[in-house]
Structure 1
Amino acid sequence: MKLAIITSHPIQYYAPWFSYINQNTNLELKVFYLWNFGITETIDLEFKKSIKWDIPLLDGYNYEFVPNVSKNPGTKSIKGLQNPTLLSTVAKYNPDAVMLIGYNYASLYRFIFQWNINQAPLIFRGDSHLLQCPKGWKASFRRKFISLIYSRFAAFLYVGKANYEYFTYHEVKSKQLFFAPHAIDNNRFLQAAEPAKKEAIKWKKELGIPDHNKVILFAGKFNSKKRPLDLLQAYKQANLKDVVLLFVGGGELETELKKQAAEHPNIFFAPFQNQQMMPRTYAIADLFILPSYGYGETWGLAVNEAMCLSCPIIVSNHVGCGQDLVKPYHNGLIFEAGNISDLTKLIKLAFSNSERLKQWSFKSSEIIQQYSYQQTTEGLLKALSHI
């Protein structure tokens, strides 16, 4: 079977999956990219820096970049991906099925409604959720519009429980839904785990963190969606002994974060770490926290990465992966998004029993084994068999 995959740009979480599919199935695969971010040096507006990923994103599978004529290329607006030749380019490949990863761009809207679904059915993979319940006439209109879009697809890959509920809310039938969990390149992180732990000891000294101190880690973009300021306030209020807070990354809130942390000796900062350094980043942590608020944190793949390095986890209840990856009192805790006092309480609870925290780290390692490219690919193959 010939499978075409259409996605915005090479992404460090997806590219290794495409390679896995190509090497471990009988599918003839071709990926159509609509933008070249991550391959060429490009400014990331949220990290506030120029980025080019330092791992290979185009190895091990067939791909093609479809010319993007947008004046402002990117994924921050519907007009950011405008690829007039997409339909004809995919048709020339003559696939048996087409999988779209996302749809909310000009090129993809055109493709969805112009593609001959009788010639090659469409599969959709997304990760949206409704962890904040939408209300009002706008929400009602949006529900009908999204349901109309989904009516063009024959099968859907859902990444977790919250995503499953999102699809059924938009009138997708359960028989069309196939579990294909969000995953990262687990093998790369697991193989790097031991050397990463040794590197983390050195890095800890370089950062000026005392050896005996435990580390709470925030790694990602310093923006309002991720809510690093909530974590900073909760950490201050927890007032823990021999526990430091480390922010790794960058973004629009960096100046404010450093201003509020200026007089606190146990809050540390490290700059953006590229992919090869991420195992070390998580290896330094005794607890990983993702306090995101709102719809934007559809999953939180940083949690997958942290769990590969045996991190206990605290997430807000707006983080899409929470229902799947975080088992309260087994490998972490879940707090009410935006509730700083609730987060403070859970941070204190996590560090109140060091032996229990160690057990949570083991449990994280066990849970993440079931969220790998193998399981994701099995879901894809079941969807293809269905259609």
Structure 2
Amino acid sequence: MKLALVATHPIQYYAPVFQLLAKEVELKVFYTNKKRKSYDPGFQQEIIWDIPLLQGYDFSFNEERPVIKNLISFDPHYLLIYGWASSAHLHILTYFKNKIPILFRGDSNLLENVPWYRSILKEYALKWVYAHVQTALYTGTNNKEYFKKYGLKESQLIFSPHAIDNMRFSIYEPSLSVRENLGIKKDDLLVLFAGKFSRNKNPILLLRAFLKANVPNTHLLFIGGGLTEGNLRNAAEYRSNIHVLPFQNQKDIPAYYKACDLFCLPSNHETWGLSINEAMACGKAVLVSDRCGAAVDLVTQYNGSVFKHQDVNDLTRKLEYFLKHPLLLEKAGRQAALDISEWNFNNQSRAIINCLYA
């Protein structure tokens, strides 16, 4: 069985899946970006991942000749395309329709408010796009509803869970150095935000809620970079319990999840929110907005809570409740680790393999 996989560029959440697939089929990944870009506009800096993303599978970059010719030469039995928001991907979809079966994977959802006129245009365009797809591998409940709205039938939808490297995050040995370096006492509680400091991810809302809750012996840590970094650093400058650290790479970030007591993702819109998976794999309670795609699948009253997006009062109430009940945080964290265990790379890759041999 030969599987051609099309993606824009190497991604830390996809490479392990490609490695698993390569053990079971003849796989080649075709990256459609001509260069191996390392500048991330969201973080506003160069990002070079410190884990291998190009090992364990065959790949090519779209440098020497058009990707269509490379795909024809490979002559796959199936084509799996990650995302459509690229002219190259749309070209591949239209060229190979009715030539070979096309699988598709994306994590979009319907949670974002769209003006009515854009909604009409979007529906027309996306129904055209997905008419080229035989099977869509959906990441969760919200993503499934998205595919159904834009024309795919129940029989065309296969669950392939969104995942991170649960094992790498869960077995990481906790270190006191993170808390010690930040001056956080053993019994103090730490709330963590990790990601891009963007208006969409809305770390400022978390800052406002934390200050409003004003619970003694608690700390707030922001890790990342981006447009709102200046505002966060200004707030931290005059408060000993607010900390801002730069982007932390994949090998280091588990230490910060392990050091916290509660992870919060206050996004205005998030197609999924894989940082939620990471925090849960580290055994941490999670508090996320209702606009995070993962919320409906991953977050329950037993492992965390969901608050109304952009509602500082709702976030404050739930944040304050958790910070005043540390034993509840511990219990929720243990449950989180159990709940995320089935959302793993093995189950994701197995769903893809099953499509090939159905």
Instruction: Normalising by structure 1, report the TM-score.
Output: 0.89
The structural deviation recorded for 1:86 is: 1.1
Task: Work out whether 1:112 is the aligned partner of 2:118.
Answer: no
The structural deviation recorded for 1:384 is: 2.3
**Partner in structure 1 of residue 52 of structure 2:** 56
Contact 1:55 1:275 (8 Å CA) reproduced: yes
Measured in 2, the distance between the counterparts of 1:56 and 1:30 equals 17
Contact 2:135 2:157 (8 Å CA) reproduced: yes
Q: How does 1:217-236 map to 2 (within 5 A)?
A: 217-236=192-211
Contact 1:292 1:319 (8 Å CA) reproduced: yes
**Partner in structure 2 of residue 382 of structure 1:** 354
User: What do residues 293-320 of structure 1 show as CA deviations (whole Å, max 9, x unaligned)?
Assistant: 03xx100111111111101000000001
Q: Which of the numbers 176, 191, 197 marks the counterpart of 1:216?
A: 191
The structural deviation recorded for 1:103 is: 0.7
Contact 2:78 2:103 (8 Å CA) reproduced: yes
For structure 2, list consecutive stretches of 5 or more residues without a partner in the other structure. none
User: What do residues 32-73 of structure 1 show as CA deviations (whole Å, max 9, x unaligned)?
Assistant: 112377x66x322221222211111111111111129xxxxx
Measured in 2, the distance between the counterparts of 1:44 and 1:203 equals 26
**Partner in structure 2 of residue 264 of structure 1:** 239
Structure 2 residue identity aligned to 1:188: R
Structure 2 residue identity aligned to 1:161: T
The structural deviation recorded for 1:366 is: 0.4
The structural deviation recorded for 1:280 is: 0.5
Measured in 2, the distance between the counterparts of 1:21 and 1:184 equals 16
Q: Which of the numbers 138, 147, 168 marks the counterpart of 1:167?
A: 147
Q: Which of the numbers 256, 260, 272 marks the counterpart of 1:281?
A: 256
**Partner in structure 2 of residue 316 of structure 1:** 289
Measured in 2, the distance between the counterparts of 1:286 and 1:100 equals 38
User: What do residues 181-234 of structure 1 show as CA deviations (whole Å, max 9, x unaligned)?
Assistant: 101112222232xx2x12xx1121112223321100000110111100000000
Q: How does 1:188-199 map to 2 (within 5 A)?
A: 188-192=168-172, 195=173, 197-198=174-175
**Partner in structure 2 of residue 9 of structure 1:** 9
**Partner in structure 2 of residue 80 of structure 1:** none
Name the SS for the 2:49 alignment partner: coil
**Partner in structure 2 of residue 66 of structure 1:** 62
Structure 2 residue identity aligned to 1:10: P
Task: Work out whether 1:306 is the aligned partner of 2:279.
Answer: yes
Instruction: Normalising by structure 2, report the TM-score.
Output: 0.96
**Partner in structure 1 of residue 116 of structure 2:** 136
The structural deviation recorded for 1:249 is: 0.9
**Partner in structure 2 of residue 78 of structure 1:** none
Q: How does 1:172-183 map to 2 (within 5 A)?
A: 172-183=152-163
Q: Which of the numbers 67, 91, 97 marks the counterpart of 2:78?
A: 97
Select between 347-356 and 149-158 the one with higher mean Cα deviation.
347-356
Task: Work out whether 1:203 is the aligned partner of 2:175.
Answer: no
For structure 1, list consecutive stretches of 5 or more residues without a partner in the other structure. 69-83
Structure 1 residue identity aligned to 2:354: K
Measured in 2, the distance between the counterparts of 1:132 and 1:359 equals 32
**Partner in structure 2 of residue 352 of structure 1:** 324
Task: Work out whether 1:331 is the aligned partner of 2:303.
Answer: yes
Q: Which of the numbers 215, 219, 241 marks the counterpart of 2:216?
A: 241
Measured in 2, the distance between the counterparts of 1:133 and 1:175 equals 28
RMSD: 1.5
Percent of pairs with identical residues? 35
Task: Work out whether 1:28 is the aligned partner of 2:26.
Answer: yes
Name the SS for the 1:276 alignment partner: coil
Contact 1:55 1:276 (8 Å CA) reproduced: yes
The structural deviation recorded for 1:357 is: 1.3
Measured in 2, the distance between the counterparts of 1:48 and 1:357 equals 33
Structure 2 residue identity aligned to 1:355: L
Structure 2 residue identity aligned to 1:54: D
Name the SS for the 1:67 alignment partner: coil
Name the SS for the 2:251 alignment partner: helix
Name the SS for the 2:5 alignment partner: strand
The structural deviation recorded for 1:258 is: 1.5
Contact 1:178 1:382 (8 Å CA) reproduced: no
User: What do residues 93-121 of structure 1 show as CA deviations (whole Å, max 9, x unaligned)?
Assistant: 00001000001111111111122x33311
Task: Work out whether 1:149 is the aligned partner of 2:129.
Answer: yes
Select between 48-57 and 201-210 the one with higher mean Cα deviation.
201-210
Measured in 1, the distance between the counterparts of 2:256 and 2:33 equals 28
Contact 2:29 2:58 (8 Å CA) reproduced: yes
Measured in 2, the distance between the counterparts of 1:302 and 1:371 equals 13
Task: Work out whether 1:87 is the aligned partner of 2:59.
Answer: no
Measured in 2, the distance between the counterparts of 1:234 and 1:187 equals 32
Measured in 2, the distance between the counterparts of 1:316 and 1:89 equals 42
Contact 2:235 2:242 (8 Å CA) reproduced: no
Contact 1:100 1:122 (8 Å CA) reproduced: yes
Contact 2:288 2:305 (8 Å CA) reproduced: yes
